[in-house]
Chains A and B, each alone.
Chain A
Amino acid sequence: MSIGTHNLLSAADLDRAQTLAILDTAAQMHAIQTREVKKLPPLRGRTIVNLFFEDSTRTRSSFEIAGKWLSADVINVSAKGSSASKGESLRDTVLTVAAMGVDALVVRHHASGAVARVAGWVDCAVINAGDGTHEHPTQALLDAYALRARLGDFTDRHVVIVGDIAHSRVARSNVLLLHTLGARVTLVAPPTLMPAGVAEWTAATSWDLDAVLSGKEFGDVDALMMLRLQRERMSSNYFPTEREYATGYGLSPLRLELLGPDVPVLHPGPMNRGLEISSAAADNLRSVVLDQVQAGVAVRMAVLYRLLAGDPAAAIEQVPA
């Protein structure tokens, strides 16, 4: 993480040791969440602004709770519709917010690379909470957290990611982070939803979900990630109908069976029932998905903690046992 430069912009900013350290810290944070009093003192007096240029409920509230449980003052700024459309530049918007004495900006933006631009304009810590179709590194961290709980070690584990890879920031961050952790990744999508230049990525690719899930194409599957598919993609002819997409790439009960009972299935939510996931499969996964929500808070606490609380080792000792 650019602990040195105090930003988290891309999953590629993290090496293996840093990633595992965050996951370890997250595990400690997660344990604390089961207590009656969840609040810890380390970020008392610090100010975190959630600067969201795009709607979000899950990620924003997850960061908000994470900051509050670390005793930071957390302010939510919804900047949707400001900036370009109102004639104000992104730079002006960001500098105005940063001028309020902010220690960390958690930024979500509809455009790829916007968060990197923000980091170039301000001195405070900047965390990428999702930028366009580029990256969503804390989502990848929480996916890694959830997978670690189920798989233990990542070395040579085979993780399959299915869906709209081309437009998915979750997929980009996960491919980078899982590679860092030593896992093998296979991406499955119709050709229209594969990103340009995917051959250069550290992942195998396939158009055939059944061949991958059955282990025929790339060997046994250790974990499956289903991506959310935006229905608007249909109007741009990325795929013809919901039925056809679901038939080819949706997670049906039959496909769940192909996987076997022990293989964890993740979905970043919100789920499109009947599209990338059947209702029956979704209900089957409910507990895992809710697990991910809890883990999300713990992981974001760990990230904030390590970016803002100084020496992470010393900081962890402050956590009451």
Chain B
Amino acid sequence: MSNVLLAGASVLGGRPADVLISGEVIAAVGSAADAAGAEVIDAAGLVLLPGFVDLHTHLREPGREDAETVRSGSAAAALGGYTAVHAMANTTPVADTAEIVEQVARLGAAAGLVDVRPVGAVSRGLDGERLAEIAGMARSAAAVRVFSDDGRCVADAQLMRRALEYVKPFGAVIAQHAQDPGLAGTAACAHEGVVSGKLGLPGWPAVAEESVVARDVMLAQHTGSRLHVCHVSTAGTVEVLRWAKGRGIDVTAEVTPHHLALDCSLLDGYDPVYKVNPPLRPAEDVAALRAALADGTIDAVATDHAPHAAHDKEHAFADAAFGMLGLQTALGVVADAMVRTGLLDWAGVADRMSVRPALIGRLSGHGRPIEAGQPANLTLLDPRGSWVVDADRLASLSRNTPFAGRTLPARVVATFLRGRATVRDSELIQKEVSHA
């Protein structure tokens, strides 16, 4: 059994302590009495958090292995401090049966860098009409607990109602990509407002998101079921969530790092690296999202990591693919937008990037307190380790990061998945292949 001592780590940003990892668990916190023989990592000045859990990752496998694979996405996740990711269902074929979610889970286990938790589709083939085999996926070896048609909205109110009801026996959640397709229109590719009007880009009004969230929280109340709102992007949605939570409705919500950091003025040069769904919004929305994450109205940061091959972005803005990379830059962006600004401390970051996402995904073993006996799923980060994002050096197979060239204020130094280091000295440590 391998023992590792993290010497002098600031646990959740608090007082320095020695944390002893023994095998797959945390053996001791505080005193290193039994650390004899352990490998010592000098963690002085570094912050130790529970490993991050991403509720919203596109791994592209099966179907677009040229853009990302479960393995390459897992590597990006580990380097970003993640120990678990939820792989979205909009693959080709769509993850809408037990067979496909089990395949994705197997690929994740084989890569062995993070726990890959497949998300199941709500509707068959994401058609928005016919309920997918949700029970089959929930009872499969992949034990799916998050269902989503992400990329598309479950627009039909009756289907949404049925889905919310149907997942109840499994304690599962419906994660909604809230966007009224009628209001948004098929051509929309930018926030509807001053910028879209000036640039002549078909616009997406904020109300297309807000009206669906308003409907869905009422449906969650009516069904007594659990709703999760993906990538909240507007101040109006925040208001609806605040109201719903005040009424005791079982709703949770996530925000992406890019919606916390970037606004739609960046679209001025028509660079599709800034094309994302939901779109970048005005600065006032960015401020409202930060405040909502700080006060807990928004529960979690989720990356919506969306790799795209270069040729899918080398088009006119309207013709380019939607989405941005997120896994490796998430911590740095959150540190910049939330910690540097004093909106969250490191314990708050742990809560929004690990504890609450693990609860939402019903993921035992992640997002746990850093104390003896808990699984050693941990992220060690340097709060002053600023770095410049180089798109070519990211682990993803794709390069579509909007943060290329930016300096981010914090970096992941090490990541531990059940006691095994997946990242050390900010470098990936591949799982040893057994030749036995």
Contacts and interface: CB of A to CB of B under 8 A. Distances in A.
Say whether A and B bind each other: yes
Interface of A: 83-84, 89-92, 109-114, 116-117, 131-135, 166-167, 169, 172, 195-198, 200-201
Given A111-B319, A113-B270, A117-B270, A197 B198 contact: yes
Given A197-B195, A197-B196, A92 B314 contact: yes
Q: Output the residue of B193, B194, B197, B202 with the most chain A CB within 10 A.
A: B197
Nearest to B191: A196
Given A89-B311, A134-B200, A169-B200, A112 B317 contact: yes
A113 B195 contact: no
Q: Across the A-B interface, give the 9 residue pairs with the lowest CB-CB distance, nearest first.
A: A113-B270, A197-B194, A111-B316, A134-B200, A114-B316, A89-B314, A133-B200, A195-B197, A197-B197
Nearest to A88: B311
Nearest to B269: A116
Interface in B217-269: 269
Contacts of B180: none
A135 B198 CA distance: 10
A83 B269 CA distance: 20
Contact of A196 (B197, B271, B314): B197
B197 A112 contact: no
A90 B200 contact: no
Nearest to A166: B197
Q: Output the residue of B193, B196, B311, B315 with the most chain A CB within 10 A.
A: B315
B201 interface: yes
A292 B199 CA distance: 26
Contacts of A197: 193-198
B200 A196 contact: no
Interface string B276-316: 00000000000000000000000000000000000110111
28 contacts: A83-B315, A89-B311, A89-B315, A90-B314, A91-B315, A92-B311, A92-B314, A109-B316, A112-B199, A112-B201, A112-B316, A113-B201, A114-B316, A114-B318, A117-B316, A117-B317, A131-B316, A133-B200, A134-B200, A166-B197, A167-B200, A169-B200, A172-B198, A196-B196, A197-B195, A197-B197, A200-B197, A201-B198
B61 interface: no
Contacts of B269: 116
B150 interface: no
Contacts of B54: none
Given A89-B315, A200-B194, A201-B197, 16 more contacts: A91-B314, A91-B315, A111-B316, A112-B270, A112-B317, A113-B199, A114-B317, A114-B318, A116-B269, A116-B270, A117-B271, A132-B316, A166-B197, A196-B192, A196-B193, A201-B198
B311 A111 contact: no
A238 to B, nearest CB: 12
A90 B192 contact: no
B8 interface: no
Given A112-B200, A169-B200, A196-B203, A90 B194 contact: no
Contacts of B271: 117
B317 A111 contact: yes
Q: Output the residue of A109, A114, A116, A196 with the most chain B CB within 10 A.
A: A196
Contacts of A195: 197-198, 200
A166 B203 CA distance: 11
Q: Output the residue of A110, A112, A135 with the most chain B CB within 10 A.
A: A112
Contacts of A113: 199-201, 270, 316-318
Interface of B: 192-203, 269-271, 311-312, 314-319
A197 B282 CA distance: 12
Nearest to A12: B198
A201 B198 CA distance: 8
Nearest to B196: A196
Contacts of B270: 112-114, 116-117
A197 B195 CA distance: 7
A167 B199 CA distance: 11
A270 to B, nearest CB: 21
A78 B316 CA distance: 17
A90 B317 CA distance: 10
Contacts of A201: 197-198
Q: Output the residue of A84, A169, A198 with the most chain B CB within 10 A.
A: A84
B282 to A, nearest CB: 10
A148 B146 CA distance: 64
Contacts of A200: 194, 197-198
Nearest to A116: B270
Contacts of A114: 270, 315-319
Contacts of A91: 311, 314-315
A109 to B, nearest CB: 6
A271 to B, nearest CB: 22
Nearest to A94: B314
Contact of A90 (B193, B201, B315): B315
Contact of A132 (B194, B198, B311, B318): B318
A42 to B, nearest CB: 32
A84 B198 contact: no
Contact of B319 (A83, A135, A167, A196): A83
A215 to B, nearest CB: 27
A203 B113 CA distance: 57
Contacts of A83: 315, 319
Contacts of B201: 112-113, 132-134
Q: Output the residue of B203, B314, B316, B317 with the most chain A CB within 10 A.
A: B316
B299 to A, nearest CB: 31
Nearest to A199: B194
A214 to B, nearest CB: 28
Contacts of B311: 89, 91-92
Contacts of A112: 199-201, 270, 316-318
A26 to B, nearest CB: 26
Contacts of A116: 269-270
Contacts of B316: 90, 109-114, 117, 131-132
Nearest to B194: A197
A198 B195 CA distance: 10
Nearest to B195: A197
B234 to A, nearest CB: 15
A197 B202 CA distance: 13
A196 B194 contact: yes
B41 to A, nearest CB: 45
Contacts of B312: 89
